Amino acid sequence: MAKITAAQVNELRKATGAGMMDCKNALVEAEGNMEDAITVLRKKGQKIAEKRADRDSSEGAVVSKINDANTRGVVLSLNCETDFVANNDSYTAMANDMAAIAINHDTKESFLAAKFDADMTVAEKLIEQTGVIGEKLEIGGFEVLEAPFVGTYIHGKKIGALTGLSTPVDNAAQLAKEVSMQVASMGATTLSYKDFDPAFVASETEARIAAIEKDNIELGRLGKTLKNVPSFISRAQLNDDVLAKAEEAAKAELKAEGKPEQIWDRILPGKMERFVADNTTLDHEMALLDQNFIMDDKKSVADHVTSYGDVKVVGFKRVTLA
C-alpha cells in the first residue's frame, strides 16, 4: 500500500474541495496517484448524483456577470437542496466562478459543456461537488442578454435580473440597476402591453372576469362589498372608440350628479385616468414599462426611464430560485 502524505491530501483538497477523509481514502484507493484519486472522487460524485437525482433543489445562489464593455450579461442560479449549503461563502464563490464562464455562452447546454478548469467541464464539476457536498447540485435558471448597455441587480441571492438599455447614457448603471430591481420585485413577463398577443388578452380577460364574478357571489352571500368587474384588462383593448364611450359615460355621471358643465374639464382627466387604471390590470402585472415604479408609484417605469434622457429599455431577463 502506497504511503499517503499530508501534503498529498492537502493538494487533493485544494483541487477538489473534498473533505480530508474523502481525499485520503481516494488517494489510498488510487495508490497515491493524484489524477486517479480525482477520478475516484468524481465517480463517488456520480453515484451520489444518481441517488439524489429526484431530490428537490430549490435552494442555492443566483448570481450575475456583466462583461467589461457592459454590453452583455448573464444571470444564473446554482441550485442545491438546503440553505445551509447555499449560505456558505465557498458555494457563492463557486457560483460566481461559473458565471464568469457562462458570460461567454449563449445557452445552458453550451455552458455546461464548457471547461470549468483543465480537468473537467462545468457539468462534471457539478457532479464532483455533489459528491463533495452530499447534495444535488444543478444549474437552474440561465439567461443571457445583449444590448448597448446591460446592468444587473441581485436580491438576496434568491432573485436576479438583467436590464438592457438602448444607449449608455449618463448614470446608465444606476438606471439599469433600478429597472432590474423592478424586474426582480414585480416579475414582469413582457416589455410593454403592445407585445401582448390579442388572443392571450382575450382569454385572460374572460378568465379574470369569471373569477371576479365567482368571488362576488360569495361576497354577496356574506353581505360584503362586491369587487368591480372590469370590461377590459389591458391598454391594448382601449381603442379610441372605447375611450370616447368612457368619456361620454363620465360626462353623463357628472351631469347626473349635478356638477356644473363649466368645471367638467377639471374633473374629466381624473375620471379617465381612473378608468384606464381600472381597466389595465394585466399591464400593471405583466408589462414592465406599464407597471407602477416601485420607488415612486405615482409614475410608471416608462416615465422613470424617460427622466434619464433619450434612452429606452430594450430587454430584460429574470432568474429566481422560487
Q: What is the CATH classification number for the domain harbouring 86?
A: 3.30.479.20
Q: Do residues 93 and 139 share a domain?
A: yes
Is the domain of 259 the same as that of 154? no
Work out how many domains the chain is built from and give that number.
3
Q: Has residue 1 been placed in a domain? A: no
Structural domain that includes position 31:
6-51
Instruction: Indicate if 63 and 179 belong to the same structural domain.
Output: yes
> What CA–CA distances, in Å, run from 195 to 120, 146, 266, 287?
42, 19, 33, 8
In a domain, 33, yes or no: yes
Against a cut of 0.85, is the pTM above it? no
206 and 166 both lie in a single domain: no
What is the pLDDT confidence band of residue 1, given thresholds at 50, 70 and 90? low
179 and 198 in one domain?
Answer: no
Residue with cell 464568469: 100
> Which residues touch 267 (CB under 8 Å, ≥6 apart)?
254, 259
Does the pLDDT of residue 322 top 70, yes or no? no
Domain annotation covers residue 189: no
List, for residues 63-105, the tens digit of each pLDDT value. 999 999 999 999 999 999 999 999 999 999 999 999 999 999 9
Give the pLDDT confidence of 134-156 residue by residue, as tens digits.
Answer: 888 999 999 999 999 999 999 99
Residues 266 and 260: their CA atoms lie apart, in Å, by: 11
Rounded CA separation 165/316 (Å): 9
User: pLDDT tens-digit profile of 117-127?
Assistant: 887 899 998 98
233 by Cβ neighbours in 10 Å (0-12 / 13-18 / 19+) ranks as: buried
Sheet holding 138-146, edge to edge: 59-66, 72-80, 138-146
Mean of all residue pLDDT scores within the chain: 92
